[in-house]
């Protein structure tokens, strides 16, 4: 267990104790219920989370933290219809929240609604100008055996991550390289890996993949990033 996990566990446990003590002396406030519900989500206690968040969404409909929490709990309890409704409501009230978008995307995928899944993630990637939604989309497209959409998603991720206002990430290049390899496009894969190496010469996945392709790591290895 790393330090971050230990600190998070202590914080969640402390919050749980405080909220539980308050609950023993009278009705919990909405904020206290959300804190307790978040604790249950943290530890995968889905039914307890659902029972805690349900009064929140009943008494404070549209409150995104309540809708999100109840949606995640119900998704894990396999009630995808309720989960989708709550997560869509949360997304409406907290647009651009990647935590909500990721949870909603999972539900859409599990429901087999590829059209809405693609629309959600493409829209988020374009609106936020971030690569994460496109990378997530690429992963789902691969699962759906839709390599064309996966290629476009990773290319879009590279495009939005290519600006000067944020550090470039190796992730879209690496994922695109792995897809190209699966399609038998070894030259394209090597090019993308070389671009990733130009961004970070310490990414172990990139180094191992380049070595597996027989690429010598020297001053000529890196390629400029970009589409």
Same domain, 97 and 120: no
Residue range 119-135, pLDDT digits in tens = 999 999 999 999 999 99
3-state SS class at 182: helix
Kindly indicate the confidence band of residue 18, based on its pLDDT and cuts at 50, 70 and 90: very low
Same domain, 120 and 225: yes
**Is 166 inside any structural domain?**
yes
Q: Which domain holds residue 141?
A: 113-227
Last residue of a domain, one of 70, 96, 112: 112
CA angle, 217 then 204 then 174, to 5°: 85
Q: Over the chain, what is the mean pLDDT? A: 91
Kindly indicate the confidence band of residue 8, based on its pLDDT and cuts at 50, 70 and 90: low
3-state SS class at 125: helix
Same domain, 119 and 201: yes
**Is 3 inside any structural domain?**
no
Same domain, 72 and 55: yes
Residue range 83-95, pLDDT digits in tens = 999 999 999 999 9
Same domain, 99 and 200: no
Residue 162, pLDDT score: 84
Q: Where are the alpha helices (DSSP H) in the chain?
A: 3-25, 30-42, 46-59, 64-76, 80-93, 98-111, 114-128, 132-143, 147-160, 171-182, 186-199, 204-212
Kindly indicate the confidence band of residue 168, based on its pLDDT and cuts at 50, 70 and 90: confident
Last residue of a domain, one of 64, 82, 112: 112
The CATH number linked to 93 is 1.25.40.10
Same domain, 124 and 211: yes
Residue 27, pLDDT score: 77
Q: Give yes or no for a contact between 189 and 178, defined as CB atoms under 8 angstroms apart.
A: yes
Same domain, 108 and 132: no
Average pLDDT over residues 32-45: 98
**Is 52 inside any structural domain?**
yes
Same domain, 41 and 125: no
Same domain, 161 and 210: yes
More confident residue, 10 or 52: 52
Same domain, 117 and 107: no
Last residue of a domain, one of 81, 112, 143: 112
Least confident range from 18-22, 47-51, 144-148: namely 18-22
- The total of structural domains in the chain comes to 2
């Amino acid at each position: 267990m790393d330090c971050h996990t230990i600190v998070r566990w202590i914080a969640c446990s402390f919050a749980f104790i405080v909220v539980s003590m308050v609950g023993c002396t009278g009705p919990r406030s909405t904020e206290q219920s959300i804190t307790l519900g978040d604790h249950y989500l943290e530890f995968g206690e889905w039914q307890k989370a659902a029972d805690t968040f349900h009064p929140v969404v009943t008494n404070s409909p549209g409150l995104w933290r309540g809708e999100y929490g109840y949606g995640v709990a119900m998704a894990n309890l396999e009630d995808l219809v309720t989960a989708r409704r709550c997560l869509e409501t949360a997304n409406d009230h907290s647009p651009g929240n990647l935590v909500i978008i990721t949870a909603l995307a999972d539900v859409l995928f599990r429901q087999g609604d590829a059209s809405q899944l693609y629309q959600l993630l493409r829209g988020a990637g374009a609106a936020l100008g971030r690569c994460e939604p496109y990378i997530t989309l690429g992963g789902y497209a691969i699962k759906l055996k839709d390599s064309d959409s996966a290629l476009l998603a990773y290319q879009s991720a590279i495009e939005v991550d290519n600006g000067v206002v944020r550090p470039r990430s190796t992730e879209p290049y690496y994922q695109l390289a792995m897809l190209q390899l699966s399609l038998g496009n070894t030259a394209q894969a090597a090019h993308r890996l070389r671009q990733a190496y130009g961004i970070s010469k310490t990414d172990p996945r990139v180094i191992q993949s380049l070595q597996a392709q027989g690429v010598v790591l020297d001053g000529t290895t890196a390629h400029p990033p970009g589409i």
